[in-house]
Amino acid sequence: MRKDRNGLEDTRVKERDNMSKQMVINKITKEADKLAIQYNKTKDPGIREQWFKLLKQISSYPQPSDK
């Protein structure tokens, strides 16, 4: 029975970690969308660079597995 509990706890921890990562990715995505809109209005190269930096942050997160 102890094995089952640890397995369930491991699953919950993984789910929580995946949710945390997804929340961070969603926040970065919203910020990137705002920068894209601002860049399209102003064509400021500094805003474009900020946008690329944000996208690099997202690529540092591993993709969730489909298991």
Q: Residue 65: which pLDDT band, with cuts at 50, 70 and 90? A: low
Q: Which residues have C-beta within 8 Å of that of residue 25, sequence separation ≥ 6?
A: 58, 61
Q: Which residues have C-beta within 8 Å of that of residue 39, sequence separation ≥ 6?
A: 47, 48, 51
pLDDT for 19: 74
Record the tokens describing residue 51, joined without a space.
Answer: 């946008």
Answer with the residue of higher pLDDT: 9 or 49.
Answer: 49
What are the pLDDT digits (tens) for 15-63? 777 778 888 888 888 999 999 999 999 999 999 999 999 888 877 766 6
pLDDT for 21: 80
pLDDT for 35: 95
